[in-house]
Structure 1
């Protein structure tokens, strides 16, 4: 592999202080219906399995966040209000406040892309599996100005 296999931007992740207010403002601005907001139970730590886990900086962690998905044509805005616990979204919030945390591209060959990006000097800092897909974030802010995210949908491919 000598380059990423896809350059189609799928989603942008925006860290916000108040997800209800931010979602309401986006919906009013664009004339959209208010989508549901996913609010994980802050007291229930999910148990990782082979098909559902999150890993950050070498450890399995719950990495919970409130999330709202706004479909904007072919792209998705993902609003994220992180809990005050270790997660890539809380790291961003603690260091920068609100803002664009990541841009995410869809790829085939998730593990090959991880190897390729790490070989280019973008270490993987977070990844997750959620049954029908997987995603990862790379330390890329110094070179790209934003966290690079990859997502693969469908069954695992090795």
Structure 2
């Protein structure tokens, strides 16, 4: 059997939108009995080349990561600029924003999903790779994030 649209069915990450990353990351640390993860800002638009709904956006977010075996929990506290993170927080409140998959062939995967009525919402770069959020809510009831790492 082929591997569907993405070439994988392994979920790498669950992304959760939060209002207060310090408070929520401490809650997760207490829950798991681990050290509180440090948060950091995403890169500025000149480095990240962030695009939201086809337009450049200065959007940034505080991120904290918790490694839970095969799955990573990503906490995201968005700034005030237009982004999928800010839109989700404003419209839905805190909660699960996306599930992420590590893929190869970002442009091709975006094209496949868009051909199946799952449009690109936001994309950007990070040190060592790139990401794309695809609007899969109608079909999957959650957003999908594609992650492509450089070697």
The structural deviation recorded for 1:16 is: 0.8
Report SS of the residue matched to 1:3: coil
Residue matched to 2:29:
27
User: Partners of 2:137 and 2:104 in 1: how far apart?
Assistant: 23
Query: Where in structure 1 are there 5+ consecutive unaligned residues?
Result: none
Q: How does 1:75-94 map to 2 (within 5 A)?
A: 75-94=71-90
Residue matched to 2:66:
70
The structural deviation recorded for 1:143 is: 1.5
Superposition CA RMSD, Å? 1.8
Q: Is the 8 A contact 2:63 2:75 kept in 1?
A: yes
Q: Is the 8 A contact 1:48 1:60 kept in 2?
A: no
Residue matched to 1:46:
44
**Residue from 111, 131, 135 that aligns with 2:131:** 135
For normalisation by structure 2, the TM-score amounts to 0.92
The structural deviation recorded for 1:101 is: 0.4
Q: Is the 8 A contact 2:45 2:57 kept in 1?
A: no
Q: Runs in 1 of length 4+ with deviation above 2 angstroms? A: 45-49
**Residue from 51, 58, 80 that aligns with 2:54:** 58
User: Partners of 2:75 and 2:24 in 1: how far apart?
Assistant: 8
